[in-house]
Amino acid sequence: MDMSKYSFPRSNYLSWNPYELHKHLINTYVLNRKGNTALLRRDNSKDKRDIDIIRENHKFVWEDDDIPSTWEERLAKKYYDKLFKEFCITDMSKYKENKFAMRWQTEQELVTGKGQFVCANKACSENESLRTWEVNFAYKEDGERKNALVKLRLCSSCSKKLNYAHKKTEIKRPKRKNKLTNDKILSSPIENISEGTVVENIQKKSDEPKDSGEGEEIWKAPLEDVEEISREEEFEKYLEHLLL
Protein backbone atom coordinates (compact mmCIF):
# COMPACT_ATOMS: atom_id res chain seq x y z
CA MET A 1 0.00 0.00 0.00
CA ASP A 2 1.29 3.41 -0.98
CA MET A 3 1.81 5.38 2.21
CA SER A 4 3.21 8.48 0.52
CA LYS A 5 -0.17 10.20 0.70
CA TYR A 6 -0.15 9.82 4.52
CA SER A 7 3.33 11.29 4.99
CA PHE A 8 3.83 14.65 6.66
CA PRO A 9 6.86 16.81 7.18
CA ARG A 10 8.74 16.10 10.39
CA SER A 11 8.08 19.64 11.54
CA ASN A 12 4.36 18.90 11.63
CA TYR A 13 4.90 15.97 13.99
CA LEU A 14 6.96 18.08 16.33
CA SER A 15 4.30 20.77 16.50
CA TRP A 16 1.51 18.40 17.52
CA ASN A 17 0.61 17.60 21.11
CA PRO A 18 0.53 13.91 22.18
CA TYR A 19 -3.22 13.58 21.61
CA GLU A 20 -3.06 14.97 18.08
CA LEU A 21 -0.11 12.73 17.25
CA HIS A 22 -1.91 9.67 18.65
CA LYS A 23 -5.06 10.51 16.68
CA HIS A 24 -3.07 10.91 13.50
CA LEU A 25 -1.25 7.60 13.91
CA ILE A 26 -4.48 5.75 14.66
CA ASN A 27 -6.30 7.21 11.69
CA THR A 28 -3.33 6.56 9.42
CA TYR A 29 -2.10 3.10 10.37
CA VAL A 30 -5.00 1.45 12.20
CA LEU A 31 -8.28 2.78 10.82
CA ASN A 32 -7.30 2.81 7.16
CA ARG A 33 -9.53 -0.24 6.45
CA LYS A 34 -13.18 -0.96 7.18
CA GLY A 35 -13.81 -2.89 10.40
CA ASN A 36 -10.52 -2.00 12.05
CA THR A 37 -12.33 0.08 14.67
CA ALA A 38 -12.92 -3.19 16.53
CA LEU A 39 -9.26 -3.10 17.48
CA LEU A 40 -9.98 -0.07 19.68
CA ARG A 41 -12.64 -1.79 21.76
CA ARG A 42 -11.73 -2.66 25.33
CA ASP A 43 -11.44 -6.36 26.15
CA ASN A 44 -14.27 -7.06 28.59
CA SER A 45 -14.03 -10.86 28.53
CA LYS A 46 -12.49 -10.86 32.01
CA ASP A 47 -14.92 -8.39 33.55
CA LYS A 48 -16.79 -9.74 36.59
CA ARG A 49 -19.70 -8.52 38.64
CA ASP A 50 -19.86 -8.84 42.41
CA ILE A 51 -22.30 -11.73 42.13
CA ASP A 52 -19.87 -13.56 39.83
CA ILE A 53 -17.10 -13.21 42.40
CA ILE A 54 -19.42 -14.39 45.19
CA ARG A 55 -20.40 -17.47 43.18
CA GLU A 56 -16.78 -18.35 42.45
CA ASN A 57 -15.74 -18.05 46.12
CA HIS A 58 -18.98 -19.22 47.72
CA LYS A 59 -19.00 -21.74 50.58
CA PHE A 60 -22.17 -23.35 51.87
CA VAL A 61 -20.70 -23.38 55.37
CA TRP A 62 -17.83 -21.18 56.54
CA GLU A 63 -16.11 -22.73 59.54
CA ASP A 64 -14.73 -20.62 62.38
CA ASP A 65 -11.16 -21.31 61.28
CA ASP A 66 -11.84 -20.36 57.62
CA ILE A 67 -10.08 -17.01 57.27
CA PRO A 68 -10.49 -15.28 53.86
CA SER A 69 -7.12 -14.40 52.35
CA THR A 70 -8.18 -12.37 49.28
CA TRP A 71 -10.66 -9.57 48.76
CA GLU A 72 -12.77 -11.93 46.62
CA GLU A 73 -13.05 -14.36 49.56
CA ARG A 74 -13.77 -11.50 51.95
CA LEU A 75 -16.63 -10.39 49.69
CA ALA A 76 -18.05 -13.93 49.64
CA LYS A 77 -17.69 -14.22 53.43
CA LYS A 78 -19.43 -10.87 53.94
CA TYR A 79 -22.37 -12.09 51.84
CA TYR A 80 -22.47 -15.37 53.82
CA ASP A 81 -22.63 -13.50 57.13
CA LYS A 82 -25.79 -11.71 55.99
CA LEU A 83 -27.66 -14.97 55.35
CA PHE A 84 -29.98 -16.58 57.92
CA LYS A 85 -28.97 -20.15 58.65
CA GLU A 86 -31.91 -21.53 60.63
CA PHE A 87 -33.81 -22.92 57.65
CA CYS A 88 -32.92 -23.68 54.03
CA ILE A 89 -34.55 -22.98 50.67
CA THR A 90 -34.49 -25.92 48.27
CA ASP A 91 -34.91 -26.66 44.57
CA MET A 92 -36.76 -29.96 44.04
CA SER A 93 -36.91 -29.98 40.25
CA LYS A 94 -34.76 -33.16 40.18
CA TYR A 95 -36.20 -34.93 43.21
CA LYS A 96 -36.74 -38.18 41.27
CA GLU A 97 -32.96 -38.37 40.82
CA ASN A 98 -32.54 -37.75 44.56
CA LYS A 99 -30.87 -34.42 43.78
CA PHE A 100 -31.72 -31.32 45.77
CA ALA A 101 -30.19 -27.85 45.68
CA MET A 102 -29.94 -26.03 49.02
CA ARG A 103 -29.20 -22.50 50.08
CA TRP A 104 -29.76 -20.41 53.20
CA GLN A 105 -32.55 -17.89 53.70
CA THR A 106 -32.03 -14.30 52.60
CA GLU A 107 -33.24 -11.32 54.61
CA GLN A 108 -36.22 -10.77 52.30
CA GLU A 109 -37.27 -14.41 52.63
CA LEU A 110 -37.01 -14.19 56.39
CA VAL A 111 -39.33 -11.16 56.39
CA THR A 112 -41.91 -12.84 54.14
CA GLY A 113 -41.64 -16.17 56.02
CA LYS A 114 -40.44 -18.15 53.00
CA GLY A 115 -38.78 -21.32 54.25
CA GLN A 116 -40.37 -21.17 57.72
CA PHE A 117 -44.06 -20.24 57.48
CA VAL A 118 -44.21 -20.88 53.72
CA CYS A 119 -42.99 -24.11 52.09
CA ALA A 120 -39.20 -24.09 51.55
CA ASN A 121 -39.51 -25.44 48.00
CA LYS A 122 -38.79 -22.36 45.90
CA ALA A 123 -41.51 -23.38 43.41
CA CYS A 124 -44.19 -23.84 46.11
CA SER A 125 -46.14 -21.23 48.07
CA GLU A 126 -48.15 -23.54 50.35
CA ASN A 127 -48.39 -22.40 53.97
CA GLU A 128 -50.62 -25.10 55.49
CA SER A 129 -49.69 -28.41 57.14
CA LEU A 130 -45.96 -27.67 57.11
CA ARG A 131 -43.62 -30.27 58.56
CA THR A 132 -40.02 -29.84 59.70
CA TRP A 133 -37.40 -32.23 58.30
CA GLU A 134 -33.78 -32.72 59.26
CA VAL A 135 -31.71 -33.48 56.17
CA ASN A 136 -28.09 -34.55 55.84
CA PHE A 137 -27.18 -32.40 52.84
CA ALA A 138 -24.25 -33.90 50.91
CA TYR A 139 -22.59 -31.58 48.40
CA LYS A 140 -19.35 -31.13 46.51
CA GLU A 141 -17.28 -27.99 47.01
CA ASP A 142 -13.80 -27.21 45.68
CA GLY A 143 -13.51 -30.82 44.52
CA GLU A 144 -14.21 -32.14 48.02
CA ARG A 145 -17.33 -33.91 49.29
CA LYS A 146 -18.90 -32.30 52.34
CA ASN A 147 -21.95 -32.75 54.55
CA ALA A 148 -24.15 -30.35 56.47
CA LEU A 149 -27.19 -31.02 58.66
CA VAL A 150 -29.96 -28.62 57.63
CA LYS A 151 -33.65 -28.11 58.42
CA LEU A 152 -36.46 -27.82 55.88
CA ARG A 153 -40.06 -26.76 56.37
CA LEU A 154 -42.15 -28.44 53.69
CA CYS A 155 -45.82 -28.95 52.89
CA SER A 156 -47.29 -32.45 52.55
CA SER A 157 -46.75 -32.63 48.80
CA CYS A 158 -43.13 -31.45 48.94
CA SER A 159 -42.48 -33.73 51.92
CA LYS A 160 -43.32 -36.68 49.70
CA LYS A 161 -40.85 -35.40 47.11
CA LEU A 162 -38.16 -35.11 49.77
CA ASN A 163 -38.73 -38.72 50.83
CA TYR A 164 -39.13 -40.03 47.28
CA ALA A 165 -35.90 -42.08 47.43
CA HIS A 166 -35.03 -42.20 51.13
CA LYS A 167 -36.96 -41.51 54.30
CA LYS A 168 -35.67 -38.41 56.06
CA THR A 169 -35.86 -37.59 59.76
CA GLU A 170 -38.83 -35.52 60.84
CA ILE A 171 -38.41 -33.12 63.75
CA LYS A 172 -41.42 -33.29 66.03
CA ARG A 173 -42.30 -31.05 68.93
CA PRO A 174 -41.79 -32.60 72.37
CA LYS A 175 -44.90 -33.81 74.16
CA ARG A 176 -46.26 -31.58 76.86
CA LYS A 177 -45.26 -32.71 80.34
CA ASN A 178 -47.79 -32.93 83.17
CA LYS A 179 -47.43 -29.91 85.40
CA LEU A 180 -47.21 -30.26 89.17
CA THR A 181 -50.22 -28.25 90.28
CA ASN A 182 -50.59 -26.41 93.55
CA ASP A 183 -53.66 -28.54 94.38
CA LYS A 184 -51.50 -31.66 94.55
CA ILE A 185 -49.06 -29.98 96.92
CA LEU A 186 -51.83 -28.71 99.20
CA SER A 187 -53.78 -31.98 99.24
CA SER A 188 -50.90 -34.07 100.57
CA PRO A 189 -48.45 -31.85 102.45
CA ILE A 190 -47.03 -34.65 104.55
CA GLU A 191 -45.95 -36.60 101.46
CA ASN A 192 -43.82 -33.66 100.33
CA ILE A 193 -42.15 -33.17 103.73
CA SER A 194 -39.77 -35.68 105.23
CA GLU A 195 -40.02 -37.05 108.77
CA GLY A 196 -38.95 -34.95 111.73
CA THR A 197 -40.22 -31.68 110.27
CA VAL A 198 -42.53 -29.03 111.65
CA VAL A 199 -45.71 -30.92 110.68
CA GLU A 200 -45.00 -33.85 112.99
CA ASN A 201 -43.95 -31.56 115.81
CA ILE A 202 -47.21 -29.63 115.52
CA GLN A 203 -49.23 -32.85 115.67
CA LYS A 204 -47.39 -34.03 118.81
CA LYS A 205 -47.65 -30.71 120.62
CA SER A 206 -51.25 -29.90 119.69
CA ASP A 207 -52.72 -31.68 122.75
CA GLU A 208 -50.35 -30.09 125.25
CA PRO A 209 -51.43 -27.00 127.23
CA LYS A 210 -50.48 -23.69 125.71
CA ASP A 211 -48.69 -22.47 128.82
CA SER A 212 -46.34 -25.49 128.98
CA GLY A 213 -43.49 -23.30 127.85
CA GLU A 214 -42.46 -25.75 125.19
CA GLY A 215 -44.49 -24.26 122.31
CA GLU A 216 -41.56 -22.13 121.29
CA GLU A 217 -39.62 -25.27 120.41
CA ILE A 218 -41.99 -25.86 117.53
CA TRP A 219 -40.71 -22.81 115.68
CA LYS A 220 -37.07 -23.71 116.30
CA ALA A 221 -37.25 -26.97 114.36
CA PRO A 222 -35.45 -26.91 110.96
CA LEU A 223 -37.78 -26.33 108.02
CA GLU A 224 -36.97 -28.12 104.77
CA ASP A 225 -37.39 -26.23 101.52
CA VAL A 226 -40.09 -27.59 99.28
CA GLU A 227 -38.74 -28.01 95.76
CA GLU A 228 -39.86 -25.12 93.59
CA ILE A 229 -39.89 -24.74 89.83
CA SER A 230 -37.31 -22.23 88.56
CA ARG A 231 -38.23 -19.30 86.29
CA GLU A 232 -36.35 -20.95 83.38
CA GLU A 233 -38.39 -24.18 83.73
CA GLU A 234 -41.65 -22.22 83.97
CA PHE A 235 -40.74 -20.21 80.85
CA GLU A 236 -39.77 -23.38 78.96
CA LYS A 237 -43.09 -25.04 79.85
CA TYR A 238 -44.91 -21.86 78.84
CA LEU A 239 -43.24 -21.99 75.39
CA GLU A 240 -44.09 -25.68 75.04
CA HIS A 241 -47.71 -24.81 75.77
CA LEU A 242 -47.69 -22.15 73.03
CA LEU A 243 -46.12 -24.44 70.45
CA LEU A 244 -48.57 -27.28 71.03
Q: Would you state the torsion angle of the CA atoms of residues 39, 40, 43, 47, taken in this order, to the nearest 10 degrees? A: -160
Percent of the chain with pLDDT over 90: 43
CB of 205 within 8 A of CB of 215?
yes
Specify the pLDDT at position 44.
81
Which residue has better confidence, 191 or 25?
A: 25
CB of 141 within 8 A of CB of 62?
no
**Residue 244 pLDDT > 60, yes or no?**
no
29-38, 72-81, 219-228, 234-243: range with lowest mean pLDDT = 219-228
Could you tell me the pLDDT band of residue 74, with boundaries at 50, 70 and 90? very high
CA gap 86, 110 in Å, rounded:
10
Mean pLDDT of the chain: 76
Specify the pLDDT at position 239.
65
Q: Rg (Cα) of the chain, in Å, rounded?
A: 39
**Residue 70 pLDDT > 70, yes or no?**
yes
Specify the pLDDT at position 169.
79
What is the rounded average pLDDT of the residues 174-202?
45
From the list 167, 104, 137, the residue with the least C-alpha distance to 116 is 104
CA gap 98, 90 in Å, rounded:
13
Model pTM score: 0.55
Specify the pLDDT at position 109.
95
pLDDT in tens, 77-131: 999 999 999 999 999 999 999 999 999 999 999 999 999 999 999 999 999 999 9
Give the amino acid at 154.
Answer: L
**Residue 46 pLDDT > 80, yes or no?**
yes
Q: 14: buried, middle or exposed (CB in 10 Å: 19+, 13-18, 0-12)? A: exposed
Could you tell me the pLDDT band of residue 230, with boundaries at 50, 70 and 90? low
DSSP classification of residue 28? I
Helical (H) or strand (E) element with 92? strand 84-94
End-to-end CA distance of the chain, in Å?
A: 90
CA gap 155, 160 in Å, rounded:
9
**Residue 62 pLDDT > 70, yes or no?**
yes
Within 13 Å, how many C-alpha atoms sit on residue 224's CB side? 14
**Residue 185 pLDDT > 50, yes or no?**
no
What is the rounded average pLDDT of the residues 30-37?
64
What is the rounded average pLDDT of the residues 19-44?
72
